[in-house]
Chain A
Amino acid sequence: MTTRDLIKKLKDRFGEKINKSSIPVSDMVLLEIDRKDAVEISKYIFHDLAARFVIAAGTDYRERANCYLVDYVFSLAVDHLFLTIRQTIPPDDLWIHAITGEANIPAANWAEREIQDLLGIKLKNHPDPRKLVLSDDWPSDLHPLRRDVPLDIHPPSEPENAVKLKEPPGGSSVVPIGPFFPVLEEPAYFRLFVEGETVVGGDYRGFYSHRGVEKIADSQLNYNQVPFLAERICGI
C-alpha cells in the first residue's frame, strides 16, 4: 500500500471526518482531524489496520496558528509507512479524549500522561491520569513545555502535589525497590506488593532525573547543536 492508497482507504472509511490529508515526507501520511473523532479513527488504525502505536507528541503552536497540536504517530510496518493523526486544540478549551482507555490502546498510556503534565491538555477518560513526569512538588498550574514558560524559571515548591502511589491489596505487604535502584544504581522507584515472596502487583514512580532536553532544544539550540545534546540523552 502506498501513501496515496492509504489516504484513499481512510477517506473511504471516514469521509468527512478527515479535515485535511497531506504527504509531507515520502513515507508519512499526515491527517488532520477533529478531536471528537480521534477515538474512533485511532481505534480503527490500531485494531483494524494492525498498526503499531509509536508516540504522541504535543506542541504549543500558539505562536504560529494560535492552537495546540496533538499528534499521534502510528507505524504500518508491512507497508513501511508512518501515519500521523493531528488534532488541533483551541488554547482556551484544552482537552482531548484519551485513546488509551476509550480506543483500548494501552500503548498510549504514558505518552498521553506526558502531554497532560507538560502542556496542560486535560485527558478525558484516561484510566490513570496521575502526574507522571513532573516532580512531586511541582506547581500544579505550571506546564513547562509551553512556549511562554522560560527555560530558566525557578518554580516554587508545592509538596502537596505529590503523586499518590497505589496501596497494596489486602493481605500483601510492600517491598520497595528504589528510589535508589540497587542493581543499576539509577533512581527509579518500584513499589512491589508481595505476598511472601510472590509479587502480586505494583506501582512505579520514575522520572527523577529530568534534564529538560526538549525544552533546551527548542529554546536555545540551532539545528546542528541538537545532535550533540541528543547523544547525551543516553549515556549507556
Chain B
Amino acid sequence: MDYSIGEIVALCSFNIILVLLLSPLLEGIIRKLVALVHSRIGPPLYQPYIDILKLLGKEEIVSSDNFFFRYSGVLALAAILSTAVIIPIGARPPLGNAGEIIVFVYLITLSAIMVMMSGITSESPFGIVGAAREMMMVLVVEPVIIIALITAAVKARSMTFGDIMAYHLSHGTSISMVIVAIALFLAIVAQLARLPFDIVEADQEIMEGPFIEQSGAKLALFKWSFYAKELIFASIFVSIFVPWPYKGNFIVDFIITLVKIVILLLIVGVVHVVNPRLRIDQAIRYFGILIFVSLIGLAFALVGS
C-alpha cells in the first residue's frame, strides 16, 4: 500500500493532534468513574484541560540549573508524541512500515528516563528516592511490554505495527495472545502510574517523588505526557489484541477504536479504585511473576499457537 506524502503528513498530524487534545478527556472519564465508586460527584469531564491550562500559566520556581531539570518535561512529551506517529489509532499507523515495536519501546523508555532525570536533578531527597523507584519499575515493567509485543510480532512474522495489526485482524486470537494480553494489561496499569502501582509518584509517601520540584509549564508538560501515554497504550492494546470489528471505513473504524479505548481505560480505572498502593519490593515481585507468565505466552507463540 503506497500512500502519498500528503496523506502521510495528514495522518501524522491527525494522530499527534488527536493524542494531545483527546487524552485529557480520557483522563477526565477515568476520574469521573473513580468519583462514582467513591460515592461522590467528582470533577467535570473537562477538568484535566483546565488543570493543564492553569499550570501553563503559573509561575515557575526552579531549584536547579541543570539542563535535564529544565527540559525533561519537554523531552518526555516529545517522546510520547513521537510514538503517536508510529502506532495505529483507529487506522493504519501514519508512517506505515517505518514504525516498529523496538522503536516504540525505545521511545517509551526515553520518557521514563526523563522522569528519572527530573527526579535526580531536582536536588531533593524525595526526588532521588522517586527516581530510584522509577528505575526499579522500568526494569520490571518494560520486559513484560517487550515480551508481549514480541509475542504478537512472532505470530505476525513482522516487527512493524501495521503488519501485526493486519495479521491479527485476519487470524483472530490464540492462547499465547490471551496470556500476554493479561500481562500487558497489568503492565499498562503500571506504566500509567495507576494504583496498585502508582509507587513512583506516591504523593502521600514521598511528596510526588520525581516531580516534587517541577512547577508551572514544566509540570504541565509532564502531566500531559502521562495523559498522552494513556491514549497511546490503550490504542496499542486495542489495535493489536482486540482489533475486531474492522469495517474498512476510516471514520467508522476510528469511532469503534475510540469506544474500545474508552472501555479499556474504564477497566484500568476500576482496577485503580479498588486497590491500595503496593510497596516497591512487592511490586517488583509481582512483575517478576508477570514476566514469567508472559514468557509462557511467548513460548506458546513460538510453538505455533
Task: Give the B-binding residues of A (Cβ under 8 A).
Answer: 173-176, 182-183, 197
* B204 A173 Cβ-Cβ under 8 A: no
Task: Give the A-binding residues of B (Cβ under 8 A).
Answer: 125-126, 129, 132, 203-205, 207, 280
- Inter-chain CA distance A197–B133, complex, in Å, is 10
| Total residue contacts A-B, CB cutoff 8 A | 15
* Residue contacts A-B, CB under 8 angstroms, 15 given: A173-B125, A174-B125, A175-B125, A175-B126, A175-B129, A176-B125, A182-B203, A182-B204, A182-B205, A182-B207, A183-B204, A183-B205, A197-B129, A197-B132, A197-B280
By DSSP majority rule, is chain B's interface helix, strand, loop, or mixed?
helix
Determine the chain B residues whose CB is within 8 A of the CB of A197 once the complex forms.
129, 132, 280
Determine the chain A residues whose CB is within 8 A of the CB of B132 once the complex forms.
197
Determine the chain B residues whose CB is within 8 A of the CB of A183 once the complex forms.
204-205
Determine the chain A residues whose CB is within 8 A of the CB of B126 once the complex forms.
175
CB distance from B120 to the nearest CB of A (A): 14
Q: Which residue of B has the minimal Cβ distance to A196?
A: B132
- Inter-chain CA distance A143–B245, complex, in Å, is 80
CB distance from A180 to the nearest CB of B (A): 9
- Inter-chain CA distance A182–B207, complex, in Å, is 6
CB distance from A2 to the nearest CB of B (A): 51
CB distance from B131 to the nearest CB of A (A): 13
CB distance from B127 to the nearest CB of A (A): 11
CB distance from B222 to the nearest CB of A (A): 19
Determine the chain B residues whose CB is within 8 A of the CB of A173 once the complex forms.
125
Q: Which residue of B has the minimal Cβ distance to A192?
A: B125
- Inter-chain CA distance A125–B203, complex, in Å, is 42
Determine the chain B residues whose CB is within 8 A of the CB of A174 once the complex forms.
125
Given contacts A175-B125, A175-B126, A182-B205, 9 further A-B contacts (CB under 8 A): A173-B125, A175-B129, A176-B125, A182-B203, A182-B207, A183-B204, A183-B205, A197-B129, A197-B280
- Inter-chain CA distance A173–B129, complex, in Å, is 11
- Inter-chain CA distance A170–B205, complex, in Å, is 25
Determine the chain A residues whose CB is within 8 A of the CB of B280 once the complex forms.
197
- Inter-chain CA distance A175–B129, complex, in Å, is 9
- Inter-chain CA distance A173–B125, complex, in Å, is 9
Determine the chain A residues whose CB is within 8 A of the CB of B207 once the complex forms.
182
Q: Which residue of B has the minimal Cβ distance to A184?
A: B204
CB distance from A8 to the nearest CB of B (A): 55
Please give me the 10 A-B residue pairs with the lowest Cβ-Cβ distance, nearest first: A183-B204, A182-B207, A175-B125, A182-B204, A175-B129, A176-B125, A197-B280, A174-B125, A173-B125, A182-B203
- Inter-chain CA distance A183–B206, complex, in Å, is 9
CB distance from B278 to the nearest CB of A (A): 14
Q: Which residue of B has the minimal Cβ distance to A182?
A: B207
- Inter-chain CA distance A183–B202, complex, in Å, is 11
Determine the chain B residues whose CB is within 8 A of the CB of A182 once the complex forms.
203-205, 207
Q: Which residue of A has the minimal Cβ distance to B281?
A: A197
- Inter-chain CA distance A175–B206, complex, in Å, is 10
CB distance from A191 to the nearest CB of B (A): 11
Q: Which residue of A has the minimal Cβ distance to B204?
A: A183
CB distance from B139 to the nearest CB of A (A): 15
Determine the chain B residues whose CB is within 8 A of the CB of A175 once the complex forms.
125-126, 129
Q: Which residue of B has the minimal Cβ distance to A175?
A: B125
- Inter-chain CA distance A176–B125, complex, in Å, is 8
CB distance from B298 to the nearest CB of A (A): 32
Determine the chain B residues whose CB is within 8 A of the CB of A176 once the complex forms.
125
- Inter-chain CA distance A176–B132, complex, in Å, is 17
Determine the chain A residues whose CB is within 8 A of the CB of B204 once the complex forms.
182-183
Determine the chain A residues whose CB is within 8 A of the CB of B125 once the complex forms.
173-176
- Inter-chain CA distance A229–B125, complex, in Å, is 40
- Inter-chain CA distance A204–B23, complex, in Å, is 44
Determine the chain A residues whose CB is within 8 A of the CB of B203 once the complex forms.
182
- Give the most central of B125, B203, B205: most A CB within 10 Å: B125
CB distance from A209 to the nearest CB of B (A): 20
CB distance from B111 to the nearest CB of A (A): 24
CB distance from B257 to the nearest CB of A (A): 40
- Inter-chain CA distance A10–B126, complex, in Å, is 55
- Inter-chain CA distance A176–B203, complex, in Å, is 15
Q: Which residue of A has the minimal Cβ distance to B136?
A: A197
CB distance from B134 to the nearest CB of A (A): 13
CB distance from B74 to the nearest CB of A (A): 28
Q: Which residue of A has the minimal Cβ distance to B207?
A: A182
- Inter-chain CA distance A143–B152, complex, in Å, is 75
- Inter-chain CA distance A183–B126, complex, in Å, is 14
- Inter-chain CA distance A175–B126, complex, in Å, is 7
